[in-house]
Amino acid sequence: MTLEQEIAKRRTFGIISHPDAGKTTLTEKLLLFGGAIQKAGAVKSSKIKDHARSDWMEIEKQRGISVATSVMGFNYNDIKINLLDTPGHQDFAEDTYRTLTAVDSVIMVVDCVKGVEMQTEKLMEVCRMRNTPVLCFINKLDREGRDPFDLLDEIEAKLKIKVHPLSWPISMGKTFKGVYSLYEKSLKLFTPSKTTVEEGIEISNINDPSLDRYVGESYAAQLRADVELLNGVYPELNVQDYLEGKVAPVFFGSAVNNFGVKELLDTFIRLAPPPLNRETTLRVIKPDEQKFTGFIFKIHANMDPKHRNRIAFLRVCSGRFERGNNYLHVRQEKSIRFSNATAFMAQDRETVDEAWPGDIVGLFDTGNLKIGDTLTEGEKLFYTGIPSFSPEIFKEVINKDALKTKQLEKGLLQLMEEGVAQLFTYELGKKKVVGTVGALQFEVIQFRLKNEYGASCDFAPQNIYKACWISSTDEKKLAEFIASKQRHIAQDKDGKLVFMAESKAWLQMVQDNFPEINFHFTSEFKD
């Protein structure tokens, strides 16, 4: 198969949502349809041994939430699907932000009972930064939820994106009858089923009298009235508007009952874009270029507790990746060879000899790779748009066992390189402060340090408002600033200088007093 054919058959997307909207359940059902798993796992109940396939870390099984992005690949109708299931919990938002740099499109899950929630709004902002195409799945139709027209209005108002329903529900909750596909002009009747992949009865014509027999006259009349109204408000979907991130097609269903999922998947593989062009520091890279390029968007240590391995997740952007080849590690300016390369089904993996644009490959790494690193066949360029954001909560690391200092430092370094949190080491006194987006991350760090590295630590709250990366075109002024604010200067894990501001007012005053210094709220900046 040619490079162009391999690119055309790939779809790489992420699933995003607020916690408990049903994102991981939807992931399970997509894998079920793709034949990647035989049985869907339970996300919540700790009594059930079949935990969701994409939640494999011990702490995820205990808490019933996703805390790390999972990568899964499967085939469906001759299309190779690369699916990235992201954490919904806002405390792990940064992992999700980075993951969104590695996908070409997104499926956003909205709970029909709760509607659009704050975390969904934040994630949508990240999608809008790159004009990522978004497809919306309104979930939990088997529960008493909000009016579907109200939900569409709320999505448009809160997420600032136009919507275009491609399916429509017939009632919801206890009287939920099914979904009419505005795209296929067919109707699927609801039959509750948590394991089967069958989706009920098809009725090709909405005016078919048998519709009244199946759903009842009043529900049939309501559906016909709704569809007439929808056809008047929403003309035929402009696919280009979707691909440019201007319009979000909307589907309705119940992931836990396997309902509406096949429709979503069938339409998704037709509409969603294959691997797209990507920006670098030198030029735009097209996926059909013959030479391989790719970037690291995630690192995970100790995926297999029996072997202290470290895996870097590579998004292939152009050309063909071949296992065993030498590639240029652009940041280190050295050649690097990967004899082990894997494809993923959550933590299950298989060796791959080659990968194509859109594919996600796991590379066994001994510590050379960092998030944001670029690999090429020789060209010295960097993929852009994978920043670290200024954290919101800061705590000092207190070592509880002096005999395990090395284990603690190693564990902190590896977890920070994974992007679990950010580590700031003060210039004076070498005090170590961890910065996170949410409080739950400190629990995860403590848990993993203890279980994976045998190190114990406490966290002491710090009075810090913002971590600001600093730079200046005037080296002398920068040196003067560092000298005058030495007690508040730290370095991040990459050795970049950071000013630790204690309050918003104080930061503003410092900015006013030092106009030659640039203060950045993300680690990726250009002076």
pLDDT at 457: 94
Q: Which CATH superfamily is domain 278-376 in?
A: P-loop containing nucleotide triphosphate hydrolases (3.40.50.300)
Is residue 54 predicted with pLDDT exceeding 50?
no
Contacts for 236 with CB less than 8 Å, ≥ 6 apart? none
Amino acid of residue 9 = K
Please give the torsion angle defined by the CA atoms of residues 409, 415, 418 and 423, in that order, rounded to the nearest 10 degrees. Answer: -70
Q: Residues 458, 523: contact at Cβ < 8 Å?
A: no
Poorest-pLDDT segment among 169-178, 182-191, 232-241: 182-191
Q: Express each pLDDT in 67-117 by its tens digit.
A: 345 678 888 889 999 988 776 445 445 667 778 889 999 999 999 999 988
Provide the β-strand partners of residue 70: 85
Rounded Cα distance between 356 and 318, Å, is 7
Classified by CATH at the fold level, domain 393-520 comes out as Alpha-Beta Plaits (3.30.70)
Query: Domain ranges in the chain?
Result: 3-271, 278-376, 393-520
Structure tokens at 243: 């691909």
Other Cβ atoms within 10 Å of 523 Cβ, number: 19
Q: Which of 29, 26, 3, 1 is nearest to 15 (CA)?
A: 26
Options 2.40.110.10, 3.40.50.460, 3.30.1330.60, 3.40.50.300; CATH for 3-271 is 3.40.50.300
Cα 413 vs. chain centroid, distance in angstroms? 23
Residue burial 145-179, b: 16+ Cβ < 10 Å; e: rest: bbebeebbeebeeebebebbbbbbbbbbeeebbbb
Structure tokens at 383: 């993929």
Instruction: Indicate yes or no: pTM above 0.85.
Output: no
Poorest-pLDDT segment among 99-103, 266-270, 346-350, 385-389: 346-350
SS3 content of the chain, % helix, strand, coil (to 5): 30, 30, 40
**3-class DSSP state for residue 126?**
helix
pLDDT at 349: 65
Equal fold, 3-271 vs 278-376: yes
Q: Express each pLDDT in 170-186 by its tens digit.
A: 999 999 988 888 877 78
Q: Which of 29, 237, 55, 252 is nearest to 140 (CA)?
A: 252
Rounded Cα distance between 322 and 274, Å, is 21
Rounded Cα distance between 139 and 169, Å, is 11
Cα 411 vs. chain centroid, distance in angstroms? 24
Rounded Cα distance between 427 and 19, Å, is 38
Other Cβ atoms within 10 Å of 485 Cβ, number: 17
Average pLDDT score over residue span 423-446: 87
Is residue 154 predicted with pLDDT exceeding 80?
yes
Rounded Cα distance between 414 and 425, Å, is 15
Ramachandran category for residue 173: left, alpha or beta (phi over 0 → left; psi -120 to 50 → alpha): left
Q: Residues 413, 325: contact at Cβ < 8 Å?
A: no
